[in-house]
Structure 1
Amino acid sequence: MGIDFHEKKNRNSYTTRKANQSWIQMVKELVPINNTTHAVDIGCGGGIYCKALADMGVATVTGVDFSKVMIEGAIINCENYPNISFQKGNAFETGLKGNYYDLLLERALIHHIEDLESCFKEAYRVLKKGGYLIIQDRTPADCLLPGDEQHIRGYFFELFPKLGEKEIQRRHSSNLVMETLTKAGFKEIEEVKLWEIRNIYDNKVQLLDDLKERTGRSILHELDDKELNLLIHSIDDAVSKRTNIIEKDRWTIWKAVKR
C-alpha cells in the first residue's frame, strides 16, 4: 500500500531534501529563468522545488497540492520565503487564474495520473502565452536501468521484480507524454534526460540507514520488513565504496511551450 498523502504523520515526508544543483542547472538550460516572474508547482508536496525556484530568482512561486497535510508541511518548510504561497487544488482543477504564469512545474506528478490529457489542458490554461511547462518523471525505461554504485534504485528491481512490475504499471511512455502535450496545444516539445543527484553520503552506513527510512515515501513501501532487510544486505554487498557515495536517479524531463 502506498503512502497516504493525507495522513498527518506523513506531513514532513517531502520536506527534508533540497533540490540538487544538477536539477537547477538543467532548468536554467531549458527555461529563460531570468525572465520568469510567476511560477507554479503543481503537486508541490513539501515545497522543496518551490524553494528552489525562488532561490533561482523567480519573483513569486505558488505551490498547489491536493493534500491539505502536504500543504501544511510545505508552509512550515517555506516559512522564510515571503514570495512563496500555497493553495489546495489538483492537476485537473488547480483553482489558479488562467493565462498568467510564466513557468509551470510538474515534478514526480504524472505517474499518479491516468488522465494526462486533462492534466495538460489545465496546464495550458494556466500558462500565459510564451509560458513554459516542465514535466519531470520516470519512464518505464528509466525505472529498469541496472543498479550500480550510483544508481542504487536499480538494485531494488533486480532483487524484487515485483517492484519493477509495479513501477511499469504506473509510468507513462515518453511517446504518450509528447503526443498528449501536442494534443493539448503545446509547441516546441523537447525531451531530455537527467541524472539528478538524490543524495551524497559520507559513508555506506548513511546510505543503508537512509534506505531503512525510505519506505514511507518510495516504492520500497511495497516490501515487508524481511524483504527490506534482504535488500539492504544485498546493496551492502553490491556497493564496494565505503565513503563519498553519490546516489543518482534517472529522470526524463519534457519541456513544452504555450504559443
Structure 2
Amino acid sequence: MPIDFDDPANARTYSDRDVDPSWDRAITGVLDPRGRTVVDIGCGGGVYARAWLRLGAAAVTGVDSSASILEAARAQAPAGLDLHLGDAAATGLSAARVDVVFARALVHHVADLPAVVREAHRLLREGGRYLIQDRTMADVDQPGNERHPRGWLFDVFPRLRQVEAARRPDDASLRDALGAAGFDAPSVRRLWEVRRRYDDREAYLAEIGTRTGRSILHELDDDELSYLVSELRGRLPAGPVLERDRWTLWCAVR
C-alpha cells in the first residue's frame, strides 16, 4: 500500500542524510540562491531546506502536511529555517513574498496538480522561480547498475513500474498546469543526483530493508522486501556503494 506520511513510524524516513554536491551544482546552474527567500513545499525532514540555507539563501520556509515528519525536521532545523504545517495546495503562507518555490519529489504524491501549481504561483513575487524536481517515466526507466540500483527494483518486481506509471508526472501535463497558472514555459534539464554514499553494501541494504526514504518500497509486503534485499545483495559488490538517481528539473518563471 502507499506510504502513510502521518504514521510516526515514518517520521524520520526523510530526515537523516545530507544533500550531495551534485544537487548543489544543478541548482546553482539554474539560479543563484544567495540572498533569496525560499519556500520548500513538501519539505519532509528538511534535508533540502537546510541545503538551500547552506547555499546562501537568506531564509527558508519548509511546508509539509505531516506533523510527525515536521517534528523530526525541527530537531535538526538551523537558524533561518521556519517549518510550517500545511497542504501543498493551500499552504496558508502570505502571497507574493518569496523568490523561489521548490518542490522535490512532491508532485507525484499530490491529488490535484493544477491546484498545487496555482499555490506556488500565488506565493511567488513577480519574476520568482518555481523549481520542480521529480521523475518522469524516462527517469524511472533508467536501467539498474552498481551506481543506480534503484533501476533494479523494477527488474525484480515489474509491477512497481505500473505504480510509478500511475503517479509520475509527464512533461506535457506539467507544462499545461504551469501555463494555466500563469507561469512562463519552463526550462528543463536532467539531473543525476548522488543520493547517498555508503561505506559498504550492507549499509545500503539496511536502508532498503527498512524502506527508509523510498516510498515505492511501501508497495511491497515484508516477504517481498526481504526477497528484494536478497536480490540486490547478489547484484551489488560487497564494497562501498555510491547511489545515484535520475531526475528531471523544471524551472518556471512567474
**Do the two structures share a fold, i.e. TM-score over 0.5?**
yes
Count of aligned pairs between the two proteins: 254
Q: Does 1:61 align with 2:57?
A: no
Does residue 1:89 correspond to 2:86, yes or no?
yes
> Over residues 140-171 of structure 1, what are the superposed CA-to-partner deviations in whole Å (9 max), with x where a residue is unaligned?
22112221111111111111111111111111
Q: Tell me which moved more, 69-78 or 92-101.
A: 69-78
Offset, 1:68: 1.5
3-state SS, counterpart of residue 77 of structure 1:
coil
Q: What's 2:128 paired with?
A: 131
- The whole-number CA distance in structure 1 between the counterparts of 2:29 and 2:10 is 33
The unaligned stretches of length 5 or more in structure 2 are none
One-letter amino acid of the counterpart of residue 72, structure 1: E
Kindly provide the CA deviation profile for residues 202-251 of structure 1, in whole angstroms up to 9, marking residues without a partner as x: 22222222221226742112222322222222222222x33232111111
RMSD of aligned alpha carbons: 1.5
Match of 1:222 in 2: 219
Distance 1:227 1:8 in 2: 23
Change (3 A) 1:174 1:31: same
Q: Tell me the equivalent position of 1:211.
A: 208
Tell me the equivalent position of 1:33. Answer: 33
Percent identity between matched residues is 40
Contact 2:35 2:56 in 1 (8 A): no
CA shift at 1:75, angstroms? Answer: 0.9
Q: CA deviation at 1:48?
A: 0.7
CA distance 1:181–1:4, shift in 2 (3 Å): same
1:201 paired residue number: 198
Q: Any idea what the Cα deviations from partners look like across 1:12-70, whole Å, max 9, x if unmatched? A: 2211111111111111110122252x111011111111100111111111011112212
| Aligned match of 1:76 | 75
Question: Quick one: distance in 2 between partners of 1:230 and 1:63?
Answer: 36
In the TM superposition, structure 1's runs of 4+ consecutive aligned residues that sit over 3 Å from their partners are none
Alignment of structure 1 residues 1-259 onto 2, 5 Å: 1-36=1-36, 38-78=37-77, 81-214=78-211, 217-239=214-236, 241-258=237-254
The 8 Å contact of residues 179 and 185 in structure 2, kept in 1 or not, is answered as no
Note if contact 1:192-1:252 (Cα within 8 Å) is conserved in structure 2: yes
Query: Partners in 2 of 1:235 and 1:112 — Cα distance?
Result: 26
Unaligned runs of 5+ in 1: none
Amino acid in the other structure paired with 1:65: D
Equivalents in 1 of 2:239, 2:102: separation in Å? 34
2 CA distance for matches of 1:201 and 1:67?
28
Q: Is the 8 A contact 2:14 2:212 kept in 1?
A: no
